Amino acid sequence: MPDREERFRVMLDMLEALVGPTPRVLDLACGTGSITDRVLKRFPGATATGVDLDPALLTIARGHFEGDERVSFVAADLKDPGWSAALPHGTYDAVLTATALHWLHSPQLGALYRQLAPLVREGGVFMNADHMPDASTPRINEAVRAVRHAATDRARAAGALDWAEWWATAAADPVLAGPTRRRYEIYGEHADGDTPDVAWHARTLREAGFAEARAVWCSPSDSLVLGLK
């Protein structure tokens, strides 16, 4: 993902502009804690709660942040209507997520947005950076796919691991082997969610209770949608 750091930079710029430099952050579907890591490096006074269901990625995240009292992690299934009861706080200044919620189908994601609205304090923000293609531009979309595939091929030729190779490496690791096995029992190879467009995300966030919502960044294939309470 050659634009990964750019999306994180814009996310943190908007975070600071709207809620300040010491936010309480919910890192949603946190994975290995990529967002939390960048938040704390830029805003040392911030705190973060990471929530995910993947036992392998949570093992990596907990190991990376071990001893850092600013960070806590919760194992929870975002498809469970009661998942937020496990969180240590009732509200957050910001809920942030990236390249994760496309694992959910649109009805599930809409339900999640309705659950998130009460977790974001008044004046707080939700930001989701993810795949949000526009179905009305099929030829442009095909060109974008070709560009991305070419970039992926170049990265693999330079030694980067692809999805299957990364998980095979995790499965062979003595610490991650057990959590990786449990991860595949939960998810299988990959979830089968979908990728609604920016307009859907903005409309659904407003319907869920956010006062404003729109894209604040985009690449040829992905967008960062911000919802403001």
Please report the pLDDT score of residue 163 as a whole number: 87
Residues of the chain with pLDDT under 50: none
Is there a contact between 52 and 58 (Cβ–Cβ < 8 Å)? yes
Q: What confidence tens digit (pLDDT) does each residue in 52-100 have?
A: 999 999 999 999 999 999 999 999 999 999 999 999 999 999 999 999 9
Closest CA to 135 of 127, 144, 148: 144
Ordered by where they begin, the domains of the chain are 4-133+191-228 (3.40.50.150)
Please report the pLDDT score of residue 190 as a whole number: 73
Please report the pLDDT score of residue 3 as a whole number: 87
- Kindly give the pairing relationship between strand 222-228 and strand 212-218: antiparallel
